[in-house]
Amino acid sequence: MARWEPNARERLVRAAVELFAEQGYEATTVNEIAERAGGLTKTTFFRYFADKREVLFAGSALLQEILVRTVVHAPPSTSAIDAVAGAFEAAAAVFDERRDRVLRRQTVIAANPELQERELIKLATLAGAMATALRERGVGELAARLAAETGAAAFHIAFARWVAEPGESDLRALIGESFSELKALVAGEWTSPVS
Amino acid sequence: MARWEPNARERLVRAAVELFAEQGYEATTVNEIAERAGGLTKTTFFRYFADKREVLFAGSALLQEILVRTVVHAPPSTSAIDAVAGAFEAAAAVFDERRDRVLRRQTVIAANPELQERELIKLATLAGAMATALRERGVGELAARLAAETGAAAFHIAFARWVAEPGESDLRALIGESFSELKALVAGEWTSPVS
């Protein structure tokens, strides 16, 4: 009989990220993850995750919820691109609260091309959800996709900078900087080497 | 002894895309691809490609070369984002010339999540190469990455529209439209449902 294990999902994520960072993603088994999570079983693991890869992407549902909610609730006067920027800024707190784990997770992903591919798919899925939320605000089809996907690219660059300089940088500020620079850029402010 | 086979690479790509479209990517073997390519062997196949997946991404080296060359040779007065837009417009001809095969290839990719992930990685690699080319023009680090990655997102949207409406649309024109809309968007032209 399955026992109810308090906080099992959270414990499994924490254990998996630790083990992947310590001994490598490929070398880690589901059994080891369950054991490290305070003596859980493989059966409990598979109640929460389809496979060990999915543990690394467990946070994306929460992230998507924050992004979509922020876009939906942005004031009507907010432009599409500003709604997307605001959504990523709102989500920054999720990363800041889990800073150590996020950085450890990124190290694991950086070492494994299959995981990098998965990460890009997840980001594309988040962009798709934001595009849908923008269309529901009345933004046109093309504009909604562009705002969501270029916004996701701007976020991704800020996130990479935050990961690269963990001690000194604030993710929310870096996201703001990415979007400001994007505006300057599209307005044509980067022209020639001597400009 | 290996015979020299004229145009083997091109024949293998054509045969692979045909077979993947006819009978599915998973169901197709390297032997079948080599056979369909006019009686080539598995050995010949592996002289050109690491595995059957790579056949689908054989065009990305040419694409990268065109993108980088166009960015490098853009007039000095061209802004970073316009250099990226111009590069994708220059590359549009490659797709137009191979329209049927590109569309068949997209059908294969759309049916297979692993291939979709690979496609996103290839696009990210192309963006990385363009960012390097922009930095060599004197564009700052952050601006170069933003122009390349948001530009790649704008291209990707145009490409998806072209694939969805093959009979009616011109890829080069759709790319131009994507970048124009991006400029309007970042300038704040999509504000509220009633604007």
Chain B residues with beta carbon closer than 8 angstroms to that of A186: 81, 182-183, 186-187
Chain A residues with beta carbon closer than 8 angstroms to that of B154: 146, 149-150
**Beta carbons within 8 Å of A34's beta carbon, 6+ residues apart:** A12, A15, A40, A41, A42, A44, A45
The per-residue pLDDT for range B129-178, each reduced to its tens digit, is 999 999 999 999 999 999 999 999 999 999 999 998 867 678 999 999 99
- Interchain proximity B188–A113, CB inside 8 Å: no
Select the residue from B79, B185, B194 to test the A interface by mutation, using most A Cβ atoms within 10 A. B185
* Cβ pairs bridging A and B (under 8 Å): 141
Q: What is the pLDDT at residue B189?
A: 60
- Residue in chain B closest to A158 (alpha carbons) equals B142
Q: How far is A96 from B99, CA to CA, in rounded Å?
A: 46
Q: Residue B114 — very low, low, confident or very high, per pLDDT cuts 50/70/90?
A: confident
Q: Is residue A152 pLDDT above 80, yes or no? A: yes
Instruction: Quote ipTM for the complex.
Output: 0.81
List Cβ<8 Å contacts ≥24 apart for B105-112. Answer: B105/B17, B105/B20, B105/B56, B106/B163, B107/B21, B108/B17, B108/B20, B108/B21, B108/B25, B108/B56, B109/B56, B111/B24, B111/B25, B112/B25, B112/B26
Q: Is residue A14 pLDDT above 80, yes or no? A: yes
AA letter at A92: A
pTM for the predicted model, two decimal places: 0.85
AA letter at B35: E
Provide the 10 A C-beta neighbour count for residue B128. 15
Q: How far is B24 from B112, CA to CA, in rounded Å?
A: 9
Q: What is the pLDDT at residue B137?
A: 93
